[in-house]
Structure 1
């Protein structure tokens, strides 16, 4: 298993295919949620992934400021169904926050978090900054991290 952080144009076709496959499995099929996953934001994103061979085990995308929020952001956070409960989500967020701090050199990160993950993100220093709102019947809140 190995961690990678790549810009869109650095992804090969197998990586891109497997990222999209995992995102559909997690967010469209797994959450019974019909939405347009390919939203053009991927092109501007950094893609963080844990791979074993060609398989994507954990993934998220980091979005520069001005794409989703004024601040840097990340989303499409997932761990493949067969690999959950092994600490990969914590490792994924830790690697992401370190990359944002050291490589992108930004000190604020804003995310839209599903309600059941509020405490998970609080462990990384995020604070709730909005009332509860719904995206396709799934409760979310905005959260902000300030270094």
Structure 2
């Protein structure tokens, strides 16, 4: 199921799952040193797909330079268990 939420609309469980997925992909798997979470999370729309209770795909959309920008686009590995 597809969801589109502001930061304040996210449940604590959704926020935790989003940050965990982003960390697993961007920081651990890609060895990127990034500030995550960051202040953009507060103004972004959080678009994500759930498979059952698990978030398996995520992107954030936010205003930038008179338009919009997409960031933190991530999909979980097929065997993602969130561990």
Range of TM-score over shorter length: 0.7 to 0.9
Higher helix share: 1
Question: What are the ranges of 5 or more consecutive residues in structure 1 without an aligned counterpart?
Answer: 84-147
Aligned residues: 79
Residues 1-147 of structure 1 correspond to what in structure 2 (within 5 A)? 2-65=1-64, 69-82=65-78
Superposition TM-score, scaled by structure 1 size: 0.51
| Preserved contact between residue 5 and residue 46 of structure 1 (Cα < 8 Å) | yes
Q: For the residues of structure 2 that align with 1:12 and 1:32, how far apart are their CA atoms?
A: 28
Moved beyond 3 Å, runs of 4+: none
Superposition TM-score, scaled by structure 2 size: 0.87
Report which of the two structures shows the higher radius of gyration computed on alpha carbons. Answer: 1
Q: For the residues of structure 1 that align with 2:8 and 2:66, how far apart are their CA atoms?
A: 24
Higher strand share: 2
Question: What are the ranges of 5 or more consecutive residues in structure 2 without an aligned counterpart?
Answer: none
Q: For the residues of structure 2 that align with 1:9 and 1:37, how far apart are their CA atoms?
A: 17
Q: CA RMSD in A?
A: 1.3
Q: For the residues of structure 2 that align with 1:14 and 1:22, how far apart are their CA atoms?
A: 12
